[in-house]
Amino acid sequence: MAEMAVPDMRLPIQYALTYPERRQNVVKELDLTKVGSLTFYKPDEKRFPCLALARSSLEKGKTYPAVLSASDEEAVRFYLEGAIRFSDIHRVIERVIARHRPNTGALSVDAVFEADRWAREEVRTLCNRRSFLS
C-alpha cells in the first residue's frame, strides 16, 4: 500500500487545515501511466546525511524532531541567502542536535515551541559565526 501524489505541498497543508474532514483535492491526480516505471533503492545515508539525522531524532523522541525541523528550515534559509554552502546544511543541523538538551519533564506544546525557538536561534548563532565549521 502506498500513498502517492503529485509532489505539491498544498496537499498535506490542505489535509492539516481541514482534518478530520477531507475536501476535494487542490492538486491534480497522479497518473502512474504517465510516470512510467518506478525504481526504488536503499537510501544512501553517506550521500544524504540528513536522513540519518532524521532517523536519529525520531529515535531519541522528545523535542529532538522539533529541533531537527527548525534547524533544517533555518539552515536552508541561510543556504538560500548565500551565507552557507549546500554541503554545510547537514553539519549545521548535526551541531544543533548535538547541543540540544531536551526538557526532562513531560512533552508539551510549550516544550516543542521552546525547542523550535532555541534551535532557530542556535542556527543563527552558528551560521553568523560560521562556528559549525570547527
* DSSP-assigned states of every residue in 28-78: PPP-HHHH---------TTT-HHHHHHHHHHHH-TTHHHHHHHHHHHHHHH
Residue 87: CB atoms within 10 A of its CB come to: 9
Structural domain harbouring 70: 49-133
Does 11 fall in a domain? no
Number of domains in the chain: 1
Calpha distance 26→106 (Å, rounded): 38
Q: Cβ neighbours of residue 11 under 8 Å, at least 6 residues apart?
A: 5, 25, 26, 27
Does 5 fall in a domain? no
Average pLDDT of the chain to the nearest whole number: 91
Question: Would you state the cell numbers that stand for residue 9, as one nine-digit string?
Answer: 505541498
Does 73 fall in a domain? yes
| Tens-place pLDDT, residues 87-100 | 999 999 999 999 99
Q: Which of the two residues, 9 and 123, has the higher pLDDT score?
A: 123
pLDDT value of position 70: 98
Does 10 fall in a domain? no
Does 97 fall in a domain? yes
Calpha distance 64→116 (Å, rounded): 9
Quote the DSSP letter at residue 131.
Answer: G
CA distances from residue 131 to 84, 92, 115, 134 in whole angstroms, order as listed: 11, 9, 20, 6
pTM beyond 0.85: no
Does 44 fall in a domain? no
| Tens-place pLDDT, residues 104-116 | 888 999 999 999 9
CATH number of the domain bearing residue 68: 1.10.1740.10
Q: Which of the two residues, 26 and 115, has the higher pLDDT score?
A: 115
Has residue 134 got a pLDDT over 80?
A: no
Grade residue 132 by pLDDT with cuts at 50, 70 and 90.
low
| Tens-place pLDDT, residues 42-90 | 999 999 999 999 999 999 999 999 999 999 999 999 999 999 999 999 9
